[in-house]
Chain A
Amino acid sequence: MQESVARQAAGSRSDVSPKSRGERLFAAGWRTRDWPAAWLLLAPVLVLFGIAVVFPLVDTIRLSFFDTRGLSKPKFIGLGNYVKLFTDPAFRDTLVTTLIFTLSTTIVSVGIGWMLAMLSAFAPRQTLPFRVMIFAAFGISEAVAGYMWIGILRPDAGGLLNAVIGIFQPGFAQPWLGDPRTALGAVIVAAAWGGVGLPLMLCFASVQAIPKSLFEAAYIDGASHWQVLRSIMMPLSLPGVRVAVFINLLGALRAFDIIYILTGGGPVRSTETVGYFMYRESMTQFKLGYGAAATVVLLVAVLIVSVPAIIQRTAGAR
């Protein structure tokens, strides 16, 4: 087997593209003696993955076909939960809220992260402390961030945001989280704040990977900073942007902690996303089957976002 691989490599090197040769080498690798060892090393992770991810996933899908209320015996109802979900006006509103929340949070956090990365690229050393501080926010748990934002968004004049605005408009006291018109926006800002750090680092890394010769050539040709930014840095940082968008979209779709802490899905369900809907139905009302159906809907949404991106990246890698 190894001889045929070598023969192929020697005989075809001149007339076969490196990609094909790489593919054959890769394919040949599966037939080596290393395969049992590879599976043995993978086994613990696969077992843990099975227990922690696959089993709960399969059981959740199974549960979604049952009517389970409180501690009573589950009753098989087929697609009944799904029919009820999509005819439930509350769930339809939740889907709209989730879409708004997901897109807004992603656009804000990736947009700000990207802009900050572009600016930081002009003075990487001087902006290092700021980049570290911004990224540190990404490392704070959503629950902790939520309690912090409760203090910032307090409805009375003592809240930080109201106090700052109160400098210019004395007595200002907007109930940000109590007003259905501002609650979702406030939650989006709080969630996006925590999400800026990762896009910043990803986009900054993309910019750092741009060959210095391109910049030198551009400046020699008389390009301004703005032209360098627009024509070199922005386009060539797009790989980082794509990864950041992907990660932020997935995170925003599954958002729960920040909403639970800040608004509890209110006021008047104006901030209730699918994640919170799942919690409310499953954990407070213990309608496990109905909550599981909402989970499956969310899973489908996550797959819609992630599968094309994974396929694209895999194809790109080949």
Chain B
Amino acid sequence: MNLTGTTPRFRRRTVLGAVGLAALLAAAPALAQDLSGELVILQWQGGTDAEMWQKLEADFAAKNPGVTVRELVVTGQGDMRGPMRTALLGGEKVDIIINTWPAFRAELADAGILRPVDDLWGAANLDAALDVSWRELGSTNGVTYGVPYTYGDRSAIWYKTAHLEKAGIEPPQTWDEFLASIDKLKAAGYAAPIAMPAKYWAHGEWFETLLLRIGGVEAAARLAAHEIPWTDEVVKTTLRKYAELLNAGCCGTPEQMFAGDWDYSADQIFTADASNYLMIGMWMNARARNDYKLNEGVDYSIFQFPAMGLGHDDTASVDAKEISVTTNGNNPAAADAFAVYMVSKDAADILASYGYASPSKNADPSLLGPVQQVATAAVAQSKVQFVLGDLLPGDVVDEYRVQLQKFLQDPSDATIDAVTAAIEAKAQEVY
């Protein structure tokens, strides 16, 4: 057989095909190889979340029988970044870090611990599963480090349906209706309609969504990056709006606000029936279902933060958890595969069974409970901004929370000036 005339074309096609396949294999090792070995995940979550993670890991392992998943569990109270840093500085090698703090992502990336996932994003075609806005949320300085697998609406206000029925009101849609509902709830016998957990950090939730409603996502993003100072008029206007709430007698005395954290505030609403509104993250859903044994959408529900008519009512504060892969993990292939798995339909279904929403387009929203569906729909229609407190450097967020406490003690204009100046002074040191 004379192949002279045909051989070069055949060879060229073969060679090009082989090169292309090799490139694809090189770019997506996790997708082409059988995975094996141990996959180590740095796990800081407990309770129901930890249980959910066991299921996710088991499902992944069942799909990849050569892989064994091990959790490196770190424990602590409050901000879990401390225990995570301790583990990483202590030389622990993990393949996956579950992260919910953009500022921490930047810290890990600067320390060379995180591996960019832009290549993985392309090779696994994650754009088909995740909207581009989620990729932006998982990026630092234009480089993508995280694959978001769940998110929460932080602009939702929780309430017990019986309380509003007793006061004869519907969930308020506008700011004026919201202020009016406070009066009606007080008339119905609730001394402090808003359970304001100002002991540690949760009093910032109100400030952050008010900031979005007044200045939009751009103002919040610029403040987080310190492109505008804390003494900017948008911040002061936000605090004046916050003062309207306090002056309406929403929350009891400052001492009562300082006495409780978010879980005490949740108890005040859902067990003690002493308060009515709580602004907190979507983990409240799991607590209401599992701890308080309430029926989602029947005994309790949420409404989105009321509209203020200032042109930014289509905004929402969100949190998100993402999968980040490390540079020094022993099993990068399995780590990449796990990140891709977490936006699959199977993973989204497991998340939904625990009341968590997935940003993946593979997720079936009908699996979510009614409260989660309200939140998901609200976020889908909103311009989103990550929780401000998780974007700020540690020193600044500390000062911000303490100064907000001082503001709660005395929400006057003079205090607003003093508080914003103090936070700005700290920001000047840090940025």
Contact = CB atoms under 8 A, between A and B. Distances in A.
A and B associate in one complex: yes
Given A178-B199, A264-B199, A268-B402, A71 B258 contact: no
A175 B256 contact: yes
A179 B395 CA distance: 24
A284 B79 contact: yes
B259 A71 contact: no
Contact of B405 (A179, A268, A284): A268
Nearest to B257: A178
Contact of A267 (B77, B82, B88, B199): B199
Interface in A175-193: 175-180
A156 B78 contact: no
B111 A71 contact: yes
B111 A286 contact: no
Given A156-B274, A266-B200, 8 more contacts: A70-B85, A178-B259, A179-B259, A267-B198, A267-B405, A284-B81, A284-B398, A285-B394
B255 A175 contact: yes
B113 A71 contact: yes
B110 A286 contact: no
A197 interface: no
B119 interface: no
Contacts of A155: 255-256, 259-260
A79 interface: no
B402 A177 contact: no
A156 B200 CA distance: 18
Contacts of A266: 199-200, 258, 402, 405
Contact of A286 (B82, B200, B272, B274): B82
B332 to A, nearest CB: 20
B425 to A, nearest CB: 10
A283 to B, nearest CB: 4
Contact of B200 (A175, A176, A179, A264): A264
9 contacts: A71-B88, A155-B259, A177-B258, A177-B259, A178-B260, A264-B199, A268-B406, A284-B78, A286-B82
Nearest to A155: B259
A55 B260 CA distance: 40
Interface residues of A, number: 26
B-side interface mostly:
helix
Given A156-B274, A264-B200, A283-B82, A71 B394 contact: no
Nearest to B108: A71
Q: Which of B259, B260, B268, B409 has the most CB of A within 10 A?
A: B259
B177 interface: no
Contacts of A72: 107, 110-111
Nearest to A285: B394
Contacts of B89: 71
Interface string B379-413: 00000000000000011001000100110010000
A242 interface: no
Interface string A161-202: 000000000000011111110000000000000000000000
A264 B79 CA distance: 12
Nearest to B260: A155
A280 interface: yes
Given A155-B259, A179-B255, A268-B409, A285 B108 contact: no
A71 B272 contact: no
Nearest to B200: A264
A180 to B, nearest CB: 8
Interface in A259-304: 260, 263-264, 266-269, 280, 283-287
Nearest to A84: B429
B110 A178 contact: no
Interface string A140-156: 00000000000000011
Interface in B103-128: 107-108, 110-111, 113
